[in-house]
Amino acid sequence: MGVGEALRALAEGKFVLLHDSEERENEVDLVMGAQFVEPHHVTVLRRDAGGLICVALHHRIARNLGLPYLTEIYRAASERFRVLGGIFPHDLPYDERSAFSLSVNHRGTRTGITDRDRALTIRELARLGARALNGSSVEEFGRNFRSPGHVPLLPAAPSVLERQGHTELSVTLAEMAGIIPVTVICEMLDGETHQALSLEKAREYAEERGLVLLGGEEVIEEYRRRRGCAG
């Protein structure tokens, strides 16, 4: 199975497993197009993956929603709240910066944490994202979502060639699949080792369920091929 199978799976509303690289987080995420998410998908994410269920957004969507990186908020508020300066994530061992932005709940949810509530939030983020691709949607964002919430948002960098995190890799896959470039992603963890699920175990999981397991380098190679990029 390769990129083509992964793109078809995403377009059909199925899960795909995505490994970034051994040089980076060296983690496998369970990935799906946000527009397709229903409550039972959230159940799978928390039961089978077990990491943090987040929504990654295309750079243009995040920009048109006015989403700041959380570190930008920390920097702006650190003069008033000194603790924010002290906890700044300047020492990440695998990246230059964190992709985290705000966390939200849709205003139609109750507590926001149930599988039903999170599915609604995730799905509605995709719907808003489709509109935000073409212009500013800051006011609409505020009308429909509240923060803090239970769904962390991850704005993607402008290009997967600039940053190769699961955020950028998954959004790039969604864009190439022709679906709304808003994805739900969740790290796969191992309850036996209490660490990230190994690539070998992730491969077994994928094979048992007929899912595609893809490496980040495959996504980047296809992205380069489609754009005629060299090297």
> What are 3's two structure tokens?
């990129």
Residues designated catalytic: 29, 54, 94, 105, 150, 187
Looking at this protein, which amino acid is placed at residue 146?
A: R
Which has the closest alpha carbon to 121: 167, 85, 152? 152
- Alpha-carbon distances of 224 from 2, 6, 7, 36, rounded to whole Å: 15, 17, 16, 27
**Alpha-carbon distance 134 to 175, whole Å?**
15
